[in-house]
Structure 1
C-alpha cells in the first residue's frame, strides 16, 4: 500500500529501480522444520504475506503471516504462528500437510509463541504468552484446549527446555540483566529457583528459545558469572554445574546433539559463528554472517544464514538447502574497524565503503539497545552505499558481543555515553573526509537518531524508524514486558527518575532540532506505538521544523511488505541525497 506522506519535497534522482526492487524482494525464511520423510517446510514471503512452503508446493494461503513451523510428532501435523499486520499477536495454528487444512489452536489475540512439544506426550505443548501479565510459561492440551500457567517468576520468560521425561521444565527468567534459571516440577506444581548467581546472567536464549538444551547429557546453558563473558556450562537436575568451555567470548543458544556434542553461536565482531564442541575440541561450522534458528536434526546442524548477500537461507552443515533470500545485485561486505570515543573507549564498528569517492557519510545506529550491527543484508545500508555514501555502523556502549561490563555500560544512562559513542562515529567519518554526516536507525537506533539531531550538534540530517520519542509515554504504552525492561534499563520508573526521563527523551529537544528529519512509523507497532511518532510530528509541525513523515498502515515494528520497503528505501536514499 502507499504510506501517508505529509510533506511535499523536491527529491534528487531516485536510486536505480532494479537495485531497490531486488533488495526489497529479498525476505528470507521465517522459520523451518523437517518432516519425518525428510521434507523441509519453511515460511517464505509470497505476494504480501509469509506462507508455509516446501520446495515443491505452497501449503498455506491464510490471512496474515504464517511463520515458525514446528513438526508435531505423533500428530503428523505442523504447529505454526499467525501474525496479522505486524501486531505481534500470534495465534497458534495446527496445519495438516496432506490436506492443507488449518485449525486454530489458540486464537485469542495474545502473544503466543516459543511453542515446544512435550517429549513423550504428543498432545501437549509448552509455550510462552502474555495472556495474564508479562511473558509467562504455559502448557496446553491440544485435544481439549486446556491452558495451564506454569511459571511464577516476576521476570519475563525468555527461553525454556523440557526434561527428557517431560516431567519438568527449566526456564530462563529475565532478558539480559540478571537472568536466572528456574525449575518447574509439573507433578508437584512447584516453581523453584534453580541456578541464580549474583551479578551475572544464566541464559538459554538469544533467539532460539532454549531449544535442545536438556538431554540425558545434562542442561546446557551460558553463564558470565566467572569470566564476565557468556561461557558454556552444564548442570545436572539438581542445579550443580561446571563450565564446559570458556574462551572469553560471548556465546548464545547452546543445544545438544544426539551424541553429546554441543552446538552454539559465538560472537565474533559482526558475525554470529556456528560452532561445535566435541570432546573438548571446538570446530567452526559457519564463520561469517548472522546465523540463528539452529536446529540439530538427524545428526545434521541446520540454521538460518544471513549475510550481506542474503536475507535468510536455510543451511545444513554450511551447505545451502533452501535458497530464499539471495539477491542478484552487487552488495558490499563491511570492514571491521575501531575508533576511540570521547573517553578513550574503543568502539568496534562495521564500515561500508562505496565504489569511488563517497558523496557523504552516514552513521547507522542499531536497535536494542542490547543488540549490535550484524553482518547481514541491510537493504537501506546497501542502497545508501550503492548511491555513494560511506556508512559506519558502530557497536556503541550497551551492545551485545563484548562481555557483560560493556553491555551494562549504558544501564541507567540510555542516551548518554552510548549517544556520545555515536557522535564520535560521526567525527571518525569527518576525519576520513566526509564533510556532511547524517544519522539513521530503527527502534533504539531511531531513538539515537532523534537524540543525535536534537541533543547534539553532531549531524547534518537524520532518519528515524520506529524511534522512541518520550520515555515516560513509551513505558506506559508499550507492550507489558517491554515497558518493564525499558524502566529497568533506565534505572527506575518515571516517578522515581523524572529528571532522567525528561533529560533522555527526544521530545525535550525538539526546539533544538535545526537539521532536516525523516520520521518513519508503522501504525500497528506494539513496541514503539504510533502515538510516539505522532507526538514528535505534531511538535515539529507546530515549530515549522523541516521534516518528512511516512506512516505505513499495515506495518508494525519495522517495514516488511515489499511495496512498503520500496517506498521506504527510495525515500530514505532520496532524503539523504538531497540533504547531504
Structure 2
C-alpha cells in the first residue's frame, strides 16, 4: 500500500455515474474470449468491463436504498500555490478522481482534467501555477506516467516513456527541477530521475543501483536532493545527492536499520529533519547536521514527549516552524515545533485524521492540510497560525444525507496470545435491541493501519442494514510502534493468525453482538486475513468477501510484479527458502480449502500488479470443487481495487447483497445467479 489509507471497494471517493439496475442474467461468453479461467464467467450486460459468475442480479430496491451512499465523494489535498491563494485537489464529479482548483474557502471547484483514469498525485510548478505535473496509470496497472498540464490550453503532455512505472513526483522550490522514481532501466529496480523543468524529457538517472530508490525533497536552493533507499518499511537509508555533480552521500548510519518516514531540509540546507524509528520504538523527529553524517551515535529526539508515531512534517517558509502530525491511537494531532526553542505546541484542529500537511512556499502564517473523520469525508482546510483559527475550503457531499445520522466508532481493546492486546474500532447500530450480526473488516498492508475515517460501505452496513462493523488493527499493523508492527514478519505470521481467534472471542464476549452471525471483509492483505478466517476458523464465520486478496503466500510472492518482490519478501519471508515456504504453505488458505464452510464472494481486478488475478481464481475454483456457494467478479479495467465508480458501485451493491443474505439481516435478499457455478 502506498502511504495512506488503502480503501478498495470501500473507497472514500465514490463516483457519480450510475451502475445498471437489475441486469438480466448474463449469457456465458465463449471460453476463448473470456479473460478468466473460472467456468461460467460472463460479461455483465451494460458493463462489458465486468465479468461475473454466480452473482445474482441487483434488486432495484437495494439500489434505491444504497444510491445516496454511493454518491459520497472526498477532496484530497494535492498542493497549494506559493501564495496560499489556491489549492489543488483530487475529487470526483464524474466516474473517476480528477484534478480541481479551489481559489477561496468554500469556493467553486474548477475541474482541470477530464480523463477516464483517476489522478491522485499532482504538484503545481513553483512560480507558475498555470503548470501542473501529475501521475496517471491505465486500467489500474500502476505503471504510472508523468504528465505536464498547461492550464491555459487544458492540454496534457506525456513526459515519460509510456511503459515503465513512475512514482515519488517532486518539484524543486525554485521551479527549476523535476524528480521522480522510475523502473525504466530494467523493469525491476527503481532509480531516481532528475530533469530540468524547461526540458522535462531530458531526464537523467542520479541513482543507478539495485532495489528501490525514491526522491524525498530538494533543498531550498535546489542544489541538493534527498533520496531514500528502501528495502522494507523498517529498513531504509537516507542519502543526499548533489544535483549538479550527481555525487551521493549516505546520511543514516551504515550499521543497523530503521525507517525513513519523512525528511525535510532546514531553511539553509545544511541540516535535515528526519522522521525515523531507528532510535526508538516509534517514529520520532531528529535534526541531523549534514557535515556530521553518517552518524555513529543517536541524535536527540525533538518529539520524545509524545509517545506516538510522527506521521508527517513540513517546514514553514521562514524556517522557524515545523508542522508535525502525530498518530495518536488512530487520530491525528497536529503540533507546531519552534525550530529555535524546540518547543512543541498543539494546534486546535477538529478531531479526525489529517493528511498532507503543507506550508505555501512563500508564507509561514498559513498551514494547509486535508482532514476527515468517521462521519465526514476527507476535505481541505487551512489554519491561520497567527489566530490559530481553522478554515474549511471544501465540503464534500454525502449524497445529501445528514452526516449526524452516521456512527462514530468506539475504540476497544482485547487480549490475544503472546501478551498481545489488539486495538479495534467498533461501529454499532443505533437503538439496536438484542444481539446484532457483525462484519469484521481487515485492513491491507500488512504494514498499514485502520483509521477512523469515513467509509460509505461501513456506514451503510451500520445505519441501513443494522450490522455492527469491527475494524481491528491486528499485530503487524502500523501505528503502535515497530515492535508491534514486526510481530507478523516472515514465519511469525503464523502466530498472528491467533488475532483472528481473539477478535472472534471478543465478539462472543459482548452481549450486544451475535457471534453466530459473523462475516469478514478485506482487501489485499486484508483479503488474505479474510480467507484465513474462513479456512482456520471455519465454524465461526458465515460469509466472507475477499477483494484482491492473497490465497497462497508462496504463489503470490512468485507472481507479484518484479519491482515488488524483494520488498514483499522482507515482510512475508522468502518463498525460495524451503523452511520458510513450509510455513507459508501451512498458513495459506489455499492449502486448507477443505476446511472452508462459509459462503465466499471474491472480487478482483484483472490488471492488478500486486496480487495477480491467479490468486483470486485459484481459490474460487478450489472452493467450488467442494460445492460451496462462491460468487466471483472480475473487472478488466481495474487493478488493485476499484477506482472507477461504475465498477465500485457494483462491487459494493453485490457485496452488501451477499452479506445481508448470509447474515440473515432484515434486508436479506437472494436472487437467481448469473452464470452457473
Q: Return the alpha-carbon distance in structure 1 between the equivalents of residues 375 and 250 of structure 2.
A: 44
State how 1:453-472 maps to structure 2 within 5 Å: 453-457=534-538, 458-472=540-554
CA, structure 1 residues 21+199, in 2 after alignment: closer, same or farther (shift >3 Å)? farther
Q: Which residue of 1 aligns with 2:44?
A: none
- What secondary structure is seen at the aligned counterpart in 2 of 1:106? coil
Equivalent in 430, 445, 456 of residue 526 of structure 2? 445
Q: Return the alpha-carbon distance in structure 2 between the equivalents of residues 131 and 289 of structure 1.
A: 39
Q: Which residue of 1 aligns with 2:450?
A: 373
Q: Which residue of 2 aligns with 1:361?
A: 438
Q: Which residue of 2 aligns with 1:388?
A: 466
Q: Which residue of 1 aligns with 2:378?
A: 312
CA, structure 1 residues 10+325, in 2 after alignment: closer, same or farther (shift >3 Å)? closer
Shift of 1:213: 4.4
Gaps of 5+ in 1: none
Shift of 1:15: 4.7
**Structure 1 range deviating more: 357-366 or 144-153:** 144-153
Shift of 1:85: 2.1
Equivalent in 268, 277, 302 of residue 337 of structure 2? 277
Equivalent in 263, 271, 289 of residue 323 of structure 2? 263
Q: Which residue of 1 aligns with 2:494?
A: 416
Deviation string for 1:167-205 (max 9, x for gaps)? 222222224122221222334433332113755424134
Shift of 1:220: 1.1
Shift of 1:230: 0.9
Maintained 8 Å contact 2:378/2:396: yes
Q: Which residue of 2 aligns with 1:163?
A: 219
Q: Return the alpha-carbon distance in structure 2 between the equivalents of residues 8 and 77 of structure 1.
A: 46
Maintained 8 Å contact 1:451/1:506: yes
Gaps of 5+ in 2: 1-46, 102-107, 384-389, 664-677
Shift of 1:532: 1.3
**Structure 1 range deviating more: 408-417 or 96-105:** 408-417
Equivalent in 569, 581, 586 of residue 487 of structure 1? 569
TM-score (norm 1): 0.92
How many residue pairs match? The answer is 573
Deviation string for 1:142-175 (max 9, x for gaps)? 4441221222554423551112232222222224
State how 1:413-562 maps to structure 2 within 5 Å: 413=491, 415-433=493-511, 434=514, 435-457=516-538, 458-496=540-578, 497-562=580-645
Maintained 8 Å contact 1:414/1:504: no
Maintained 8 Å contact 2:528/2:549: yes
CA, structure 1 residues 159+326, in 2 after alignment: closer, same or farther (shift >3 Å)? farther
State how 1:79-94 maps to structure 2 within 5 Å: 79-94=133-148
CA, structure 1 residues 417+285, in 2 after alignment: closer, same or farther (shift >3 Å)? farther
Maintained 8 Å contact 1:91/1:107: yes
CA, structure 1 residues 560+87, in 2 after alignment: closer, same or farther (shift >3 Å)? same
Q: Return the alpha-carbon distance in structure 2 between the equivalents of residues 327 and 404 of structure 1.
A: 39
CA, structure 1 residues 154+196, in 2 after alignment: closer, same or farther (shift >3 Å)? farther
User: Are residue 293 (structure 1) and residue 293 (structure 2) matched?
Assistant: no
Q: Which residue of 1 aligns with 2:307?
A: 248
Equivalent in 109, 115, 136 of residue 191 of structure 2? 136
TM-score (norm 2): 0.79
Q: RMSD of the alignment, in Å?
A: 2.5
**Structure 1 range deviating more: 239-248 or 170-179:** 239-248
Q: Return the alpha-carbon distance in structure 2 between the equivalents of residues 360 and 199 of structure 1.
A: 47
Shift of 1:408: 0.7
Q: Return the alpha-carbon distance in structure 2 between the equivalents of residues 10 and 100 of structure 1.
A: 41
Maintained 8 Å contact 1:412/1:489: yes
CA, structure 1 residues 447+41, in 2 after alignment: closer, same or farther (shift >3 Å)? same
CA, structure 1 residues 446+325, in 2 after alignment: closer, same or farther (shift >3 Å)? farther
Equivalent in 250, 258, 267 of residue 215 of structure 1? 267
CA, structure 1 residues 431+373, in 2 after alignment: closer, same or farther (shift >3 Å)? same
- What secondary structure is seen at the aligned counterpart in 1 of 2:90? strand
Maintained 8 Å contact 1:379/1:569: no
Deviation string for 1:202-248 (max 9, x for gaps)? 4134xxxx5x5453273111122333111111112233543222122
Q: Return the alpha-carbon distance in structure 2 between the equivalents of residues 255 and 16 of structure 1.
A: 44
Shift of 1:344: 3.7
Q: Which residue of 1 aligns with 2:72?
A: 26
CA, structure 1 residues 201+15, in 2 after alignment: closer, same or farther (shift >3 Å)? farther
Q: Return the alpha-carbon distance in structure 1 between the equivalents of residues 626 and 569 of structure 2.
A: 30
Q: Which residue of 2 aligns with 1:112?
A: 166
Shift of 1:130: 2.5
- What secondary structure is seen at the aligned counterpart in 2 of 1:436? strand
Larger radius of gyration: 2
Maintained 8 Å contact 1:136/1:151: yes
Maintained 8 Å contact 1:29/1:325: no
Maintained 8 Å contact 1:91/1:108: yes
CA, structure 1 residues 443+16, in 2 after alignment: closer, same or farther (shift >3 Å)? same
Maintained 8 Å contact 2:52/2:633: yes
Shift of 1:105: 1.6
Q: Return the alpha-carbon distance in structure 1 between the equivalents of residues 109 and 418 of structure 2.
A: 57
Structure having greater relative contact order (Cα 8 Å, sep ≥ 6): 2
Shift of 1:311: 3.0
Deviation string for 1:18-43 (max 9, x for gaps)? 5x333322232344333457232322
CA, structure 1 residues 255+11, in 2 after alignment: closer, same or farther (shift >3 Å)? closer
